[in-house]
């Protein structure tokens, strides 16, 4: 009978083996934030913490159903969480909008070249007043949240300039070749500035941009300029071997035979070709004048300096011009290094010649007698006309849309004008010079044809310096010939 009975094992004879329990460690999912739970605990065994009540649930509660049940366990908890999400989204959106508005205002301040304080002191209060009147107090409050302090505007402008520079450097690196144009100049604070422009290929087009403008702290010799260039190229990761063209003026520091900037660049980039700046060449070509015209120019400069150098004289002259209903109240200064100033100064002086004569007579200046001389006034009228024509030529050759072929055509056209004007002057016709024609009609006995023909002939001879040969065209970026014809390469 005993054999049919199932007997229990004697516990005293052997140890009892416990049944192994299966423990599952759940992972936290970023989607749980919609239930109002964030991660807590450790990385190995994460837990969930309620953002509403702060309660930390166990790892076993990391189930959407359990999280949802906890969310609905207390009245109003779900509504409060949704309200918090709306507030967070609203604040985040508003922050992005105000940040973008701050950058937009900073960009306008930079373009207008105004002081950075104008944003906080003028632009923001004006915008708040307009919004309050048109849209109400709520819109005005939003406008007031835009950060526009002078330091903030300065940071925004620096950020935008750095981003533009990074984009430009990347475009240059992506271009197969690039060419540079550089010049050193001194500003009104006697700071020596090195300006470098770059021309590069992008999407089968030739683009031109300002690469950088840096101050030369001490000397402006070739070694100092080259050190500044090398330092920038090394910092931005630009390679000299891809430089195919260099354009400078004829200064010794730039074109020195042994240690000039061009020579040092060509040592790093043997394929780089050098060209002389044609605008500077045009200025050199127009600099030479006959002794008679040169004397008129000197008297004009002395007249301007006599009136402008003294604050009292300047105020009295302005009052005289206002009393006589003149078109202008002040003369303009002449600067030798600013090529366009010569024509502007002579034009303004000729237009105010009667007021200048009256003022110089009141001051008992010996310069007054020149403005009663019809011969002198006729020469002054001619100089104002011819340099105005040269200024128009100079300006027309500048700009981003200028091409080597367009500029060459303009120079050839101006050379033909000089020949035509010379022939017409010999025939006694001066209608191409409006100021001179007006003066000669009032003083028929004046004859300065020989002076004008001599100067026009001299300009025609010097215009060879303006000629752009095929050798200059060859110095452009080494692209196929059809690229220049179809796209129009900038000079």
Within 8 A by CB and 6+ apart from 95, the residues are none
**Domain co-membership, 234 together with 112:** no
Residue of 23 and 4 predicted with greater confidence:
23
What pLDDT band is residue 478 in, cutting at 50, 70 and 90? very low
Does residue 458 lie in a domain region? yes
Within 8 A by CB and 6+ apart from 223, the residues are 259
**Domain co-membership, 468 together with 428:** yes
**Domain co-membership, 432 together with 291:** yes
Does residue 4 lie in a domain region? no
**Domain co-membership, 296 together with 350:** yes
Task: Encode pLDDT of 347-404 as tens digits.
Answer: 888 888 888 888 888 888 888 888 888 888 888 888 888 888 888 888 887 777 666 6
Measured CA to CA in angstroms, residue 190 lies from 60, 186, 216 at distances of: 75, 6, 11
283: Cα within 13 Å, side-chain hemisphere: 17
Give the chain's mean pLDDT: 78
User: Which of 320, 313, 378, 384 lies closest to 348 in space, CA to CA?
Assistant: 384
Does residue 79 lie in a domain region? no
**Domain co-membership, 202 together with 310:** no
Q: Check if the beta carbon of residue 178 is closer than 8 Å to that of residue 478.
A: no
Task: Please count the structural domains in the chain.
Answer: 4
Task: For the chain, give the percent of residues with pLDDT over 90.
Answer: 10
Please list the residues that pair with 37 across neighbouring strands: 50
**Domain co-membership, 293 together with 265:** no
Task: Encode pLDDT of 101-154 as tens digits.
Answer: 999 999 999 999 899 999 999 999 999 999 999 988 888 888 888 889 889 999
**Domain co-membership, 69 together with 101:** no
Torsion from C-alpha of 62, 63, 65, 67, nearest 10 degrees: 20
117: Cα within 13 Å, side-chain hemisphere: 1
**The two structure tokens encoding residue 248:** 């400078």
Does residue 11 lie in a domain region? no
**Domain co-membership, 347 together with 416:** yes
**Domain co-membership, 151 together with 184:** no
Is the pTM of the predicted complex or chain greater than 0.85? no
**The two structure tokens encoding residue 118:** 């104008």
**CA Rg value for the chain:** 39
Does residue 63 lie in a domain region? yes
User: Domain span at residue 70?
Assistant: 30-74
Q: Check if the beta carbon of residue 275 is closer than 8 Å to that of residue 246.
A: yes
Does residue 162 lie in a domain region? no
**Domain co-membership, 395 together with 296:** yes
Over residues 455-484, the mean pLDDT reads: 51
**Domain co-membership, 307 together with 429:** yes
Q: Check if the beta carbon of residue 479 is closer than 8 Å to that of residue 455.
A: no
What pLDDT band is residue 490 in, cutting at 50, 70 and 90? very low
Does residue 164 lie in a domain region? no
Does residue 299 lie in a domain region? yes
**Across 148-306, where does the E strand assignment appear?**
178-186, 192-202, 205-216, 243-248, 273-276
**Domain co-membership, 351 together with 473:** yes
């Amino acid at each position: 009978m005993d054999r049919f009975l199932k007997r229990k094992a004697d516990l005293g004879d052997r140890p009892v083996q416990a049944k192994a329990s299966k423990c599952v460690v759940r992972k936290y999912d970023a989607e749980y934030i919609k239930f109002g739970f964030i991660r807590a605990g450790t990385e190995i065994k994460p837990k969930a913490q309620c953002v509403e009540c702060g309660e930390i649930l166990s790892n076993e509660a990391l189930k959407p159903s359990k999280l949802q049940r906890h969310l609905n366990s207390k009245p109003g908890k779900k509504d409060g969480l949704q309200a918090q999400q709306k507030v967070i989204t609203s604040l985040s959106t508003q922050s992005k909008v105000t940040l973008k508005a701050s950058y937009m205002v900073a960009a306008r301040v930079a373009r207008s070249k105004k002081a950075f304080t104008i944003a906080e002191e003028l632009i923001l209060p004006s915008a708040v007043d307009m919004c309050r009147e048109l849209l109400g107090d709520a819109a005005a409050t939003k406008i007031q949240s835009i950060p526009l302090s002078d330091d903030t505007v300065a940071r925004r402008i620096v950020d935008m300039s750095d981003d533009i520079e990074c984009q430009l450097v990347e475009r240059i690196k992506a271009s197969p070749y690039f060419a540079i144009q550089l010049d050193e100049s001194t500003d009104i604070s006697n700071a020596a500035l090195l300006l470098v422009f770059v021309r590069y290929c992008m999407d089968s087009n030739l683009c031109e941009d300002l690469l950088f403008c840096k101050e030369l702290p001490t000397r402006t010799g070739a070694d100092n300029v080259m050190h500044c260039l090398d330092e920038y190229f090394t910092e931005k990761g630009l390679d000299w071997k891809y430089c195919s063209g260099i354009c400078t003026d004829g200064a010794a520091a730039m074109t020195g035979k042994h240690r000039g900037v061009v020579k040092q660049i060509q040592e790093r980039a043997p394929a780089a070709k050098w060209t002389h700046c044609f605008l500077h060449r045009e200025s050199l070509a127009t600099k030479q004048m006959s002794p008679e015209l040169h004397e008129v120019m000197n008297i004009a400069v002395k007249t301007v300096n006599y009136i402008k150098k003294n604050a009292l004289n300047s105020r009295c002259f302005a009052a005289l011009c206002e009393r006589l209903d003149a078109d202008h109240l002040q003369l303009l200064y002449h600067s030798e290094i600013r090529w366009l100033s010569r024509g502007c100064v002579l034009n303004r002086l000729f237009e105010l010649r009667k007021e200048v004569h009256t003022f110089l007579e009141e001051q008992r200046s010996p310069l007054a007698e020149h403005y009663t001389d019809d011969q002198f006034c006729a020469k002054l009228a001619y100089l104002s006309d011819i340099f105005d024509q040269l200024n128009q030529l100079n300006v027309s050759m500048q700009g981003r849309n200028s091409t080597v072929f367009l500029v060459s055509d303009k120079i050839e056209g101006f050379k033909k004008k000089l020949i035509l004007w010379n022939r017409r002057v010999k025939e006694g016709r001066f209608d191409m010079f409006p100021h001179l024609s007006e003066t000669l009609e009032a003083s028929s006995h004046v004859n300065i044809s020989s002076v004008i023909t001599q100067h026009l002939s001299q300009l025609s001879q010097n215009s060879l310096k303006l000629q752009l040969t095929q050798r200059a065209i060859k110095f452009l970026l080494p692209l196929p010939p059809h690229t220049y014809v179809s796209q129009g390469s900038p000079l």
